[in-house]
Structure 1
Amino acid sequence: MDPQVQENNFRAFLKRNSSYNLLSLFNMDTQQHQSPNTKRFKQHPAVVFNELDDQITLFQSKTCDYLVLNETGSAIWQALQATQTLNQICDLLCAEFNVERSVCIQETTNWLEQAINKNIIVTVAE
């Protein structure tokens, strides 16, 4: 399959299945002063989750938000069972979804931004 077609399919997949608004993940006013490549992420400890079919449902107990993650979001969530960097997450996603790395980094960064905003993941100090 043509790499451009794969990239467009992946972008379309993420857009169809995203329910978040975009924020700036690496805003130096609100985030730790780490480069995007070394920033580490993990699941928020207050989030309760369960897998139903091929999707993961989340409940953020502090904000009472209930979310259902699509296949891509579920893969990211599962990767964050251990503390991961953006590059580590994209290594897993590129292998699983056969997507171009630059697209994966851009779209995963957007997902992480939104997840931080929803308090379902946190950044970890090194």
Structure 2
Amino acid sequence: MNLNQKVTFAETVFAQKVDGEMVLLDMESENYFGLDEVGTAIWQAMQEYGTLQEVFNALLEQYDVEEELLKRDLSDFVEKLVESGLVEVKEN
């Protein structure tokens, strides 16, 4: 994963925070996705910041975690979102 990339959200995805966790609905596939607390934090950081590097930095400040573990978890999470058609990752 290139941390200089930017995440673009699919226009068909509706996101709503419910009881502290994010629920996503892909209107195209009609699939629901539930994000846990950490997934919700990543989703919100991706909405707030321009690049994955900025998301990574914000999460590193928010959580007591090793940099390599966070980078791997962030990469895995973004990859799953891309595979599900919820986001696209593009060069900044």
Matches within 5 A, 1:47-62: 47-62=13-28
- Number of residues of Structure 1 aligned to a counterpart in Structure 2: 92
Query: Aligned equivalents of 1:47 and 1:83: distance in 2?
Result: 18
Taking structure 1 as reference, are residues 83 and 62 closer, same or farther at Cα in structure 2, changes over 3 Å only? farther
Query: Aligned equivalents of 1:53 and 1:62: distance in 2?
Result: 25
Pair 1:119 & 2:81 matched: no
Query: Aligned equivalents of 1:100 and 1:84: distance in 2?
Result: 22
Q: Write the deviation string for residues 57-110 of structure 1: whole angstroms up to 9, x where unpaired.
A: 000111111011001110111112245322211111111111111110011000
Pair 1:96 & 2:57 matched: no
Q: Identify, as 1 or 2, the structure richer in strand.
A: 2
Contact 1:42-1:83 at 8 Å conserved across structures: no
* Amino-acid identity (%): 21
Query: Aligned equivalents of 2:32 and 2:10: distance in 1?
Result: 14
Which runs of structure 1 show a deviation greater than 4 angstroms over 4 or more consecutive aligned residues? Answer: none
Matches within 5 A, 1:1-126: 36-82=2-48, 84-126=50-92
Could you say what the CA RMSD is over the residues aligned between the two structures, in angstroms?
1.6
Q: Give SS of 2:47's match.
A: coil
Give the alignment's TM-score, normalised by structure 1: 0.66
Query: Aligned equivalents of 1:56 and 1:79: distance in 2?
Result: 12
Unaligned runs of 5+ in 2: none
